[in-house]
Amino acid sequence: MSEKLQKILASAGQGSRREIEVVIEQGRVSVDGNVATLGDRVELTNTTMIRVDGRIITIKPAEDTPCRVLAYYKPEGEICTRRDPYGRPTVFDRLPRLNNARWVAVGRLDVNTSGLLLFTTDGELANRLMHPGYEIEREYAVRVFGVVDGEKLRQLTYGVQLEDGQAAFCSLKFQGGKGLNQWYNVTLTEGRNREVRRLWEVVGAQVSRLIRVRYGDVTLPKELSRGGWAELPLDNTNYLREKVQLPLESVTRLPVKRDRRRCRLRKSGERLSAATKERPRPASAEAVNAITA
């Protein structure tokens, strides 16, 4: 059975489908010595040789490569790219090293946004989690500066016009604050560029702090300091896979006898308070990356 080349490479952890499509269009991928084009389908055999930038990609059977997912507490100031020509820190710098696989980011967060960022070794899982068709809910704690009255809140939940189309928050809940600085928790089911900030700007409010606290039902682990990561246990990983109609995993790479940080799933009806996320958490070398890959 043949499969699209970008899907094969995504499942092998070489990036999301969108990222790989760009690499193919740039002529950087070859199959059995022939430069690949977007849309090519490949039937994998024992002799099939796929190269990216001249490097041979090892394609293992799915049962030999268990899906892994990390929850990362992105601090402000890091950018969501693998390499930065200006030498700025990236979200990949602190992640554990992998052999014959790569961490793929599930979406992006702006340089000035902090909070939960998921990474996985399965590019197909990353692609589906980002796809708006699956309507995976993202929740943010946001501190805004400005006068926000009932009419503006109504606009934000019923819909306003942005430069790339109509947009609205799925839910919006006041969390507290004094004067012109107020905290809200908002949810979206899509990941347009700077969408949360742009929605508030339309009604004349400025976002002064933005923290993603939940992706689907996976919440930002309370015990993580900024720059820290935790590998999700098998039940959490399978929750994400089931959400986007992928086969469930039966094995995990998490060490059984080691202490490990677990990511808690949000209970039904539970809300995350912005106030609990407002207090700064200083990053420390001891607190970051207590788990080995």
Where in the chain are all domains bearing CATH 3.10.290.10? 2-59
Q: What is the mean pLDDT of the chain?
A: 82
Class of domain 2-59: alpha beta
Q: Which CATH class is domain 62-293?
A: alpha beta
Tell me: the pLDDT tens digits for 205-219? 999 999 999 999 999
pTM of the model: 0.73
- Smallest Cα–Cα separation from 69: which of 17, 130, 119? 119
If you average pLDDT over residues 277-283, what whole number do you get? 37
pLDDT score, position 231: 93
Q: How far is CA 73 from CA 52, 82, 170, 190, 228, in A?
A: 30, 17, 24, 20, 6
Q: Write the pLDDT tens digit of every residue in 228-241.
A: 999 999 999 999 99
User: pLDDT tens digits for 16-52?
Assistant: 788 889 999 999 999 999 999 998 999 888 888 999 9
pLDDT of residue 253: 66
Q: Tokens for 190? A: 């899509």
Comparing CA positions, the residue from 8, 52, 2 lying closest to residue 26 is: 52
Antiparallel, parallel or unpaired: β 160-162 and 165-167: antiparallel
Residue 167, H or E segment: strand 165-167
Three-state secondary structure call for residue 153: helix
Does residue 149 carry a catalytic annotation?
no
Is 119 or 43 the better-scoring residue by pLDDT? Answer: 119
Active-site choice (40, 84, 93, 110): 110
**Which residues of the chain form CATH 3.30.2350.10?**
62-293
The tokens for 25 are 């269009």
Predicted local confidence at residue 270, as pLDDT: 44
Residue of higher predicted confidence among 11 and 275: 11
At residue 290, the pLDDT reads 32
